[in-house]
């Protein structure tokens, strides 16, 4: 089955700097890769996603890149702000497409 690894587990950056979180997956049939942000005590919320027919996607300060050959994808947050502090999860769709396998999460702290 699918296995998703995520690094780093914790990340501290100064406000205004960029943050990068990387994930790798094992199942070459996976074709959908969402990123979720989870604030303390709340459910995860989707912030950006990418499908396997696209190499990069941007939404304001957030971007995701996908390298299908290497089976890894990354989240890039530019001009970080304190409200970006949260736990971020990557996920990959299973071979059927319905179920996700989540990475273990990255705790991002943006220091003012």
Q: Residue 109 CB, nearest distance to other proteins (Å)?
A: 14
* Rounded-to-5 percentages of helix, strand, coil across the chain: 5, 55, 40
93 binds other proteins (CB under 8 A): yes
Q: Considering CB under 8 A, how many residues would be counted as binding other proteins?
A: 23
Residue in 57, 76, 102, 109 binding other proteins, rule: CB under 8 A: 102
Using CB under 8 A, which residues numbered 38 to 77 contact other proteins? 41-46, 49
Residue in 8, 16, 82, 97 binding other proteins, rule: CB under 8 A: 97
> DSSP assignment of 39-85, as one string?
-TTS--EEEEEEETT-SEEEETTEEEEEETTTTEEEEEE-S--GGG-
31 binds other proteins (CB under 8 A): yes
């Amino acid at each position: 089955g699918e296995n998703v690894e995520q690094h780093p587990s914790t990340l501290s950056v100064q406000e205004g700097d960029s943050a990068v979180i990387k994930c790798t997956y094992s199942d070459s049939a996976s074709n959908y890769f969402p990123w979720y942000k989870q604030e303390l005590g709340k459910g995860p919320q989707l912030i950006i996603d990418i499908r396997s027919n696209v190499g990069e996607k941007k939404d304001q300060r957030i971007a995701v890149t996908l390298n299908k050959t290497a089976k890894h994808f990354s989240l890039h947050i530019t001009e970080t702000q304190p409200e970006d502090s949260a736990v971020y999860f990557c996920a990959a769709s299973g071979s059927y497409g319905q179920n996700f396998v989540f990475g273990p999460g990255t705790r991002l702290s943006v220091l003012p």
